[in-house]
Amino acid sequence: TLSAAPLNVGLKLEKLLFSQKRSVTLTSATLGVDGSMQYMGERLGLTGAEELLVGSPFDFQKSTLLLVSSDMPEPNDGGYPQALQDAIKRVARSSRGGVLGLFTSPDPSSACTT
């Protein structure tokens, strides 16, 4: 099953975490969008936070294969969720399970659920 949902957890994080601590450090390979922390900051309820975006030490050139399908329906097409699931299954089987699918989007309307 492939599921996705736009999340805005700012109020809950403020109440249960940020207001309880003097400082909080958030780190992830996917917090930045287009070189900015604005998108994630808005969803996490962060205002006036200090930001630092740093490059990755991971050698993408040597260890990563990017696959772009030329026969997928558009994301807003009703058949997209099933086509995406089928494509991911084919890649996972071909690589014997060596797959990491990373899905990020600043556009919540592009999320699909099945």
Query: Is this prediction's pTM over 0.75?
Result: no
pLDDT tens track for 77-96: 889 889 988 988 888 898 88
Supply the pLDDT for residue 21.
92
The segments of the chain whose pLDDT lies below 70 read 1, 4-6, 104-114
The per-residue pLDDT for 1 is 67
- For position 107, what pLDDT does the model report? 52
Rg of the chain, C-alpha, whole Å: 17
What pLDDT does 6 receive?
A: 62
